[in-house]
Amino acid sequence: MGIGGRLKSWIGDQRVEQLRDRLAELAEQSTEHHLRLAVTGLSQSGKTVFITSLVHHLLHAHRSGSLPFFDVAAGGRIIGSRDLSAQSSNPFPLQQALTGLGQEPPHWPASTRQLSEVRLAIRYRRPPGLRRVLGESATLYLDIIDYPGEWLLDLPMLELGFEQWCENQRRLFEREPRLSVASSWLARVREVDWHASADPALLQELSESFAKLLQVLRSDPYALSLLQPGRCLLPGELVQLFPLVLPTWPAGEIPDGSFLALLKARYERYREQVVRPFYLQHFSRFDRQLVLVDCLKTLNRGEACFTDMQRALNGILQSFNYGRNGFLRRLFKPRIDRVLFASTKADHVTANQHHNLDRFLELMIQDAQRDMGFEGIETRCMAIASLRSTQAAEAQVDGQTLSCLRGWRKDSDEEVALFPGEVPTELPSADDWTQERFRFIDFAPRRLPQHELQPSHHIRLDQLLEYMTGDQFR
């Protein structure tokens, strides 16, 4: 007689069964795990659409077959997923975004103003193997946050004092197009005596004009990215803070109550009370990072836009990498062990350009990628589209077949067909950034159905999932 039989004879069959169930439950609880996915991206890089689409596909992964390269879904091992966002104090507006994308005509979600959280519980069957001993099925909790991309711009400020920040900004404002756009504001700032006692009205005026200046720099035709403080860019949030862009830093002691002292105090307060809590609460505990980059925007706009976005991204990722006091670094290195750089809107170029898009993205993030490689972190570039808004088509032009895109324009909502140009694999020379060469227009989304999702609703979302989370399901 085995041990099981003996136990049963001692304490009765039912008890043993109960005990066994309880033990299995305990084992399961101890093995469920959490994965925090950092979705990083500047504003308008497609974070909200990405999260919406990802969650939508995952919620239907148990039967839709829309993720053929996501092993656990393709192998039919997902039992079901549940959206637990409602537990959070500010849940991600999934339904709202899905309704917008599912109605006729569909529209993109509005740009994000608030931080919101998604929590997804994915229940899956374990593959055959040793871990099956721990239980037939397990649960993975996937946490993602959505936030305005502008907030991210402030992260590099964490390691800069006011004087250093102003120095950085001064260097930025020495270059075009900032120099010419900001000329009147710069002249105004240079007139002020910073050692004099603070004049609230002047301060207010300068802050407001600086916020306006940032808005101008952000919009077309400049479309710059590295605009600090990021919260100045959001409507309704007037941060009374601006850098002192002076040819020379005002010498001497800083008298109490002077302009300089006030600005400095405001900078410290902004950094400590706004940026740091955001960082500590939401950005210091990630396992995997996804960096979304809109490369096409830079190709349309020119070299200044490219270098500015490059600088912004590298700055942000550096602040993940090497935090002051080592604490950011300590938190970063052991936790984020895999980073994926994704160029979004891959559906806005023809499919044969996806590889070039990867290469172009590598150009943009090469510094950050090198640093991460040095830290021993796995990185990869991928061209994705969270929601495919165009259709591949072919046309006969001058006797040869040309693959092109067919979709609806975002601004005028008319149907167009377009070959948008080739994505370069190295940085084009200054004369090459022309309308003649790149014409990546924005498309309106195609309808995303509530059910019956297809692989054709996205591009490489499944491979992204496999890369970011695949090892968790083994």
Partner 1 sequence: MSEPDKFRKPVWLDPKQLDTSRPVMPPESQAREFPLQQVREALDDGETADADHAPARKRRGGWRRLFGISLGAVLVSGVGIELYRLLDWSFTTHPLLGGGVSLMLLLLALSGGVQLWRSVKGLRQLSQIERIEADARALLQHQGQGGAGALLRELQRHYRDTPEQQRLDETIRLLDSAYNDSEIVRYLSHHALSDQDARARRCVQRYAVESGVLVALSPWASFDMLLVGWRNLRMLREVASIYGVAPGASVQWVLLKRVLHNLAFAGFSEMAIDAGSAALGSSLTATLSARAGQGLGAGLFTARTGLQAQRLCRPLPLEQVDQSLIKSVAKGIVERLGQSKPAE
Placement of tokens 């495919």 in the chain: 388
Q: What angle do CA 301, 304, 307 make, to 5 degrees?
A: 110
Please report how close the Cβ of residue 66 comes to partner 1 at its closest, in angstroms. 11
**Dist CA 132 CA 153 (whole Å):** 45
Cβ–Cβ < 8 Å for 122, 140: yes
Buried b (16+ CB within 10 A) or exposed e, 342-375: bbbbbbbbbeebbebbbbbbeebbeebbebbeee
CB-nearer residue toward partner 1: 220 or 436: 436
**Residue 346 engages partner 1 in binding (rule: CB under 8 A):** yes
Q: Residues 53 to 82: which contact partner 1 by CB under 8 A?
A: 68-69, 74
Residue 456 binds partner 1, judged by CB under 8 A = yes
Q: Does residue 463 touch partner 1 according to CB under 8 A?
A: yes
Whole-angstrom distance, CA of residue 37 vs CA of residue 57:
16
403 binds partner 1 (CB under 8 A): yes
- According to DSSP, the residues that pair with 166 across neighbouring strands are none
Please, which residue, 75 or 255, has the CB nearer to partner 1? 75
Beta-bridged to residue 140, according to DSSP, are 33, 122
Closest approach of Cβ 396 to partner 1, in Å?
A: 8
Cβ proximity to partner 1: between 295 and 418 the closer is 418
Nearest to 173 by CA among 271, 267, 243: 243
Instruction: Quote the CA–CA distance of 419 and 437 in Å, as a whole number.
Output: 11
Q: Comparing C-alpha atoms, which of 302, 300, 343, 298 is closest to residue 429?
A: 302
Asked if residue 437 binds partner 1 (CB under 8 A), the reply is yes
Asked if residue 468 lies in contact with residue 292, where contact means CB atoms within 8 angstroms, the answer is no
- Residue 58: which of 136, 122, 151, 154 has the closest Cα? 122
Minimum CB–partner distance for residue 194 and partner 1 (Å): 50
- What is the footprint of partner 1 within residues 360-399 (CB under 8 A)? 385, 388, 391-397
Does residue 460 interact with partner 1 by CB under 8 A? yes
Q: How many residues bind partner 1 (CB under 8 A)?
A: 45
Q: Is 347 one of the binding residues for partner 1 (CB under 8 A)?
A: yes
State which of residues 104, 191, 411, 436 lies at the interface with partner 1 (CB under 8 A). Answer: 436
Tell me which of 402, 450, 452, 471 binds partner 1, using CB under 8 A: 402
Minimum Å gap between C-beta 65 and partner 1 is 9
Calculate Rg over the CA atoms of the chain: 26
**Segment contacting partner 1 (CB under 8 A): 220-228, 280-288, 330-338, 430-438?**
430-438
Distance CA 361, CA 291 (A): 11
Residue 26 binds partner 1 (CB under 8 A)? no
**Binding residue (CB under 8 A) for partner 1 from 228, 420, 446, 464:** 420
Residue (95 or 456) nearer to partner 1, CB: 456
Using the contact rule CB under 8 A, the part of the chain among 2-10, 116-124, 235-243, 410-418 near partner 1 is: 410-418
Q: What does the per-residue mask of binding to partner 1 show for 88-107, with x meaning CB under 8 A?
A: --------------------
Of positions 124, 438, 467, 473, contacts partner 1 by CB under 8 A: 438
Cβ neighbours of 30 (radius 10 Å): 10
**Contacts for 157-164 with beta carbons within 8 Å, 24 or more apart?**
157/228, 157/229, 157/270, 157/271, 157/275, 158/271, 158/275, 158/276, 158/279, 158/319, 158/323, 158/324, 158/328, 159/319, 159/323, 159/324, 162/263, 162/264, 162/267, 162/268, 163/249
Q: In the complex with partner 1, which residue's Cβ is closer, 178 or 354?
A: 354
> Footprint of partner 1 on this chain (CB under 8 A)?
68-69, 74, 128-129, 346-347, 351-352, 354-355, 358, 385, 388, 391-397, 400-404, 406, 415-422, 424, 436-439, 455-456, 459-460, 463
